[in-house]
Amino acid sequence: MAKLFDTHAHYTDERLMGNESLLTALFSQDISHILTVATDVEDGERCHMLADTHEGIYASAGIHPHECGEAGGLDDAMSAVERQLTRRKTVALGEIGLDYHYDFSDRETQMRFFRAQMELAEKTGKPVIIHDREAHGDTMDMIRAFKGRVHGVLHSCSASAEQVREYVKMGWYISFSGVITFKNAAKTLDAVLATPPERLLVETDCPYLAPVPMRGKTNHSGYLHFTAARAAALLQMDYDALCEQEVKNAKTLFGI
Ligand SMILES: [Zn+2]
């Protein structure tokens, strides 16, 4: 069975945390690696613990736009994230970015944390994981400002095909979630078609965004093949070839 790298998951979420039999099943089936993504400093510790105790699991460290407002002083938060990024299996800085859909943190604070974490990415050389919800313009401006100095992945991509082409030109990877299996996903399907296979990643963003036909359930990496199959069909690629390319892409990006 062709294996996949789930490039964006939240196994520290209470719906998934501690489910050892699930993790064992995933790695014995079609999952080779999982990147469990942090949302704040405390979560980065939990992600590190998971990575430390499971061979196929890797971690990130960073402050999610939702959590910036509660993250305390910027300088202290950045030193904590920087410390976490020195760990062997903490392979990316994220997730960071902007969320203008929920606006849980005010936009100025989101922007301050986003910029500081891009600077930290440049300093540490780590790839970043970008969260961009209804903030395509400001996100793109930030990425352009660090062009050639910071790269990474646009997670659960909801950008346009045109924006995707610009990200790709700047050396970025594009990751698609279960959204591409949804009925109302026309714009995102165009974005898949604009992504060269050697820059394409897939993710669950579990426990969120379960793909069709599991939509509405608690998502996990065992459902990632539905999303990968949709991407393969859109790109007219053989399923196994897409999986092989995807794992290779993720390992290149995260330096594994
Ligand atoms: Zn996420």
CATH number of the domain enclosing 93: 3.20.20.140
Instruction: Say how many Å lie between the CA of residue 33 and the centre of ligand 1.
Output: 16
**20 CA to centre of ligand 1 in angstroms:** 21
What is the CA(9)–ligand 1 centre distance, in A? 6
| Residue 64 alpha carbon to ligand 1 centre in Å | 8
Question: pTM to 2 decimals?
Answer: 0.97
- The alpha carbon of 133 and the centre of ligand 1 are apart by a number of angstroms equal to 11
Distance (angstroms) between ligand 1 centre and the Cα of 205 equals 5
Average the pLDDT over 19-38 and give the result. Answer: 98
Ligand 1 centroid – CA 65 distance (Å): 11
pLDDT tens digits, one per residue of 120-130: 999 999 999 99
Which pLDDT value is given to residue 55? 97
Helix/strand/coil (H/E/C) assignment for every residue in 34-56: EEECCCCHHHHHHHHHHHHHCCC
- Residue 1: pLDDT over 90: no
- CA–centroid distance, 95 to ligand 1, in Å, is 7
Distance from residue 162's CA to the centre of ligand 1 (Å): 23
DSSP 72: -
Place 44 in a pLDDT band, splitting at 50, 70 and 90.
very high
pLDDT > 70 fraction of the chain, expressed in percent and rounded? 100
Flag the least confident range among 21-30, 98-107, 225-234.
Answer: 98-107
Q: How far is the CA of 158 from the centre of ligand 1 (A)?
A: 13
Give every CB contact of residue 114 below 8 A, 6+ residues apart in sequence.
65, 96, 97, 98, 142
Distance CA 150, CA 166 (A): 15
| pLDDT for res 238 | 98
Residues within 5 Å of ion ligand 1, judged at the Cβ atom: 205
User: Which residue range is the domain that position 227 belongs to?
Assistant: 4-254
Give per-residue pLDDT as tens, 195-241: 999 999 999 999 999 999 999 999 999 999 999 999 999 999 999 99
Task: Look at residue 184 in the predicted model and tell me its pLDDT.
Answer: 87
From the CA of 221, how far away is ligand 1's center (Å)? Answer: 13
Ligand 1 centroid to Cα of residue 30, in Å, is 21
Instruction: Write b or e for each residue in 117-144: b if 16 or more Cβ atoms lie within 10 A of its Cβ, otherwise e.
Output: bbebbeeeebbbbbbbbebbebbbebbe
Q: What is the pLDDT of residue 167?
A: 98
Question: What pLDDT, in 10s, does the model give residues 46-90?
Answer: 999 999 999 999 999 999 999 998 988 999 999 999 999 999 999
- Residue 177 sits at φ, ψ, to 5 deg, of -105, -170
Q: Residue 181's pLDDT is what?
A: 97
Task: Tell me the CA–centroid distance for residue 188 and ligand 1, in Å.
Answer: 17
Q: What are phi and psi of 59, to 5 degrees?
A: -125, 165
Measured CA to CA, the distance from residue 154 to residue 201 in angstroms comes to: 9
CA gap 128, 90 in Å, rounded: 12
Q: What confidence score (pLDDT) does residue 79 get?
A: 98
* Residue carrying structure tokens 């460290």: 61
Strands 200-202 and 128-133: unpaired
What is the count of structural domains for the chain? 1
Distance 131 CA to ligand 1 centre (A): 7
